Amino acid sequence: MTPDPFSLHGRRIAVTGANTGIGRGIALAVARAGGAVVGIGRSAMDETAAEIEAAGGVFSSCRVDLSNVAAGVEALDGIMGEAPLDGLVNNAGIIRRADSTEFTEAEWDAVMDVNLKSVFFLSQAFARSCLSAGRPGRIVNIASLLSFQGGIRVPSYTAAKHGVAGITKILANEWAARDINVNAIAPGYIETNNTAALRADPDRSRAILERIPAGRWGVAEDIGAATVFLLAEASRYVHGTVLPVDGGWLAR
């Protein structure tokens, strides 16, 4: 019997920002597909751990503030020192909102450190480990619709997410032939804590839904399922793509 190309059985996957929202949805989806999950981030991941373990999955966590990139890399190296990782999902991210005329350097740097700088250097550390051991690997970066669009009042977030798309492509160019797949997902409007205010505003919510051909907000499981695909053997010939999971938003 041919092995299931969508299974992550026997694989160990690190997911940054696995405590809530999209990151939690990704961690749960990986566990359901048979993968062992290592959550990385500055916040407690107790709810994620409890749900995964209640379903018979395997979850461990590593608390580290990824705005300190060196500490994040050190933590990832420690995780890989305990046991090899088969995949890395760079999901952790923050956002700062202000008019571009008022945006501060501190706000710019805070977003760039977590959303872009950590993505590159965690990917670098992961790839170095894979290459030195001759192991295949999968990297999935969480981009955004603002990897393609401009947005309003989020200049550093938009710049960082454009950068995530670029990093995804250059790393794929360098590592595809060395058995490391690097891809990204661009989530659309997803039901998370970050979008609660938008969904609670009838006018904004209606305007957003009118633009989405699927006619609904996405849920974290939609992103989780796409991530499993990009971590699994089913996507072995997929390199350097930024996959919108947006209900058709960009097609409208």
Strands (DSSP E) found in 22-121: 36-41, 59-63, 87-90
Q: Name the residues annotated as catalytic.
A: 157
Sheet holding 12-16, edge to edge: 59-63, 36-41, 12-16, 87-90, 137-142, 180-187, 242-245
Structure tokens at 208: 């957003």
Q: ∠115-116-117 over CA atoms, to 5°? A: 115
Continuous segment of H or E residues that includes residue 207:
helix 202-211
Which among 214, 217, 175, 173 is positioned nearest to 198, based on CA atoms?
Answer: 217
Continuous segment of H or E residues that includes residue 158:
helix 155-175
Rounded distance, CA 116 to CA 176, Å? 21
User: CA separation (Å) from 108 to 79, 96, 111?
Assistant: 29, 8, 6
